[in-house]
Amino acid sequence: MATPTSTPAPSADPAARLAYTQSLDCVHCGLCTQYCPTFRVTGDESQNPRGRIYLMRAELEGRITKTPDFIEAMDACLVCRACEAVCPSGVRFGELMAHTRAETRAPGPIRRFLLRRVIPSRRLLGMLASFTLLWQQVFRPVFGRFLPKSLRTLDGMAPEIPEADARRPLEPFHPAVGERIGTVAVLEGCVMPVLFQDVNRALIRLLTRAGFDVRVPEGQSCCGALHEHDGDLETAGALAKVNARAFGGSEIECVVMNSAGCGAAMKGCGHLLPDDPAAATLARRTVDMSRFLVERGERLRFRDTRLKITYDAPCHLLHAQGEAKAPLELIKKVPGIDFVPMDLADLCCGAAGIYNVDHPEMSDAILDPKLDALAKTGASVLLTGNPGCMLQWKRGIERRGMKVRVLHPATFLADALVD
């Protein structure tokens, strides 16, 4: 690949200038290519970080335009950030992609309404969940077979919605069990309370048993990860500002996260609000549950559990947050388990927010070799700490007819607690 010319950087748009400056850090060494999910599938140079940065820089310098091929190369990226973990130059590719998509993506009215209005609204998201549950339980068995093929495919990808009682909001305060050590907070989130409120409750149980008061601030909102990935930096920044205020209480030591994508968004919100001290505080306070409980969960005791278990690392926990060891250390605190490492556990599963909806064929192609790796472990339980990854794995396992349960580490650990 040729070295870019010394064409002057763009001068009009501050965001474009920032993206251009960051792109200059890439030396096009190619160390990232073998870790890029789309390049592993296609072998296409435009489908890896080096190629995408080359295209970004060429467009910013005015040497190419935003052609359909350019936009497709950007859209096909999962923003898994595996490239960041191996980049010797420290290129912040996730931020580069966010700024690029802010210029290239033009979502339609339905997508824009869902992302900007429904996802951040607990009320609207709850209404959508209730309607979906009604469809799944009452109307799908009767009318599902009459849907057009495209809608049947989309319906088949939709997760099963829990009953309303399982989705009820968390209480704003949960006292420590025994002597209080400190106070932490948790993000209830947007997707988590609709699909995985049990995981939120499991995390709170672990934290209170570890000796911490747990607060669930009522003013909190969605983390904005889906919006940032979609190029909607304005909404992502607005949501980050809401959460920076909600979690700004002086008594809160840490904001303990159980969703890898949400954790990465909140730890990285500084680039959306560079001049906001509250955002800097939120980023500094945010920590994944695995890191927190490995360091502060010495009170936790677990019963002997005879299960063969494996683990898949969510990209935004491993690559974006750099948590490689803590999740494994925490899981292995449960005595009696037969832990089997899984090949390819450090590579993306193809979920990537709503990527599996936008690019279902590529998503399946990325997941397939990981399903093969899972089968080789012989594990009966797969643990992974991100809601999108859990849904992606469950769908793939069901498609293959495999007998493997997919659990969040918080659920597994809480179930193993000694009473």
**What is the residue whose two structure tokens read 């824009």?**
112
Q: Is residue 5 part of a domain?
A: no
Q: Are residues 68 and 157 in the same domain?
A: no
Q: Is residue 7 part of a domain?
A: no
Which of 75, 104, 133 terminates a domain? The answer is 104
Q: How many residues does the chain have?
A: 419
Question: Who's near 117: CB < 8 A, 6+ residues apart?
Answer: 124
Q: Are residues 74 and 121 in the same domain?
A: no
84 compared with 135, residue with greater pLDDT = 84
What's the CA gap between 362 and 210, in Å, rounded?
42
Average pLDDT over residues 303-307: 95
Q: Are residues 193 and 140 in the same domain?
A: no
Closest CA to 261 of 234, 288, 281, 241: 288
Q: Are residues 248 and 347 in the same domain?
A: no
For residue 353, the domain's CATH number is: 3.40.50.10700
pLDDT computed for residue 18 by the predictor:
64
Bridge partners for 182 per DSSP: 212
What's the CA gap between 304 and 334, in Å, rounded?
7
Q: Is residue 310 part of a domain?
A: yes
The confidence band for 36, taking pLDDT boundaries of 50, 70 and 90, is very high
Which of 117, 138, 165 terminates a domain? The answer is 165
Q: Is residue 315 part of a domain?
A: yes
pLDDT computed for residue 16 by the predictor:
62
Average pLDDT over residues 117-140: 89
Q: Are residues 401 and 305 in the same domain?
A: yes
Closest CA to 281 of 333, 256, 245, 314: 245
pLDDT in tens, 51-106: 999 998 888 888 988 999 999 999 999 999 999 999 999 899 998 898 889 888 88
Residue 30 has pLDDT above 70, yes or no: yes
Residue 409 contacts residue 330 (beta carbons within 8 Å)? yes
Residue 315 has pLDDT above 70, yes or no: yes
Q: Which domain does 393 fall in, by range? A: 301-415
Closest CA to 196 of 335, 341, 387: 387
Q: Is residue 4 part of a domain?
A: no
For residue 206, the domain's CATH number is: 3.40.50
CA dihedral angle for residue 395, residue 314, residue 412, residue 243, rounded to 10 degrees: -110
> Looking at residue 118, what DSSP letter applies?
I
Q: Is residue 245 part of a domain?
A: yes
Q: Are residues 113 and 92 in the same domain?
A: no
pLDDT in tens, 287-299: 999 999 999 999 9
Count structural domains, the chain. 4
Q: Are residues 314 and 393 in the same domain?
A: yes
The confidence band for 257, taking pLDDT boundaries of 50, 70 and 90, is very high
- CB-count burial class (<10 Å; 0-12, 13-18, 19+) for 248: middle
Average pLDDT over residues 390-395: 95
pLDDT computed for residue 17 by the predictor:
64
CA of 167: how far to CAs of 86, 126, 161, 200, in Å? 39, 8, 9, 10
Q: Is residue 119 part of a domain?
A: yes
Percentage of the chain exceeding pLDDT 70: 95
Q: Are residues 217 and 306 in the same domain?
A: no
Closest CA to 64 of 48, 77, 52, 76: 52
Which of 140, 165, 190 terminates a domain? The answer is 165
Least confident range from 131-145, 181-195, 241-255: namely: 131-145
Mean pLDDT, rounded, of the chain: 91
CA of 48: how far to CAs of 11, 344, 406, in Å? 27, 18, 30
Q: Are residues 352 and 288 in the same domain?
A: no
Q: Is residue 404 part of a domain?
A: yes
Q: Are residues 139 and 95 in the same domain?
A: no
Q: Are residues 309 and 405 in the same domain?
A: yes
Q: Are residues 245 and 305 in the same domain?
A: no
Average pLDDT over residues 263-270: 94
Average pLDDT over residues 11-33: 74
Both tokens assigned to 209? 């048993």
**Whole-prediction pTM:** 0.91
For residue 25, the domain's CATH number is: 1.10.1060.10
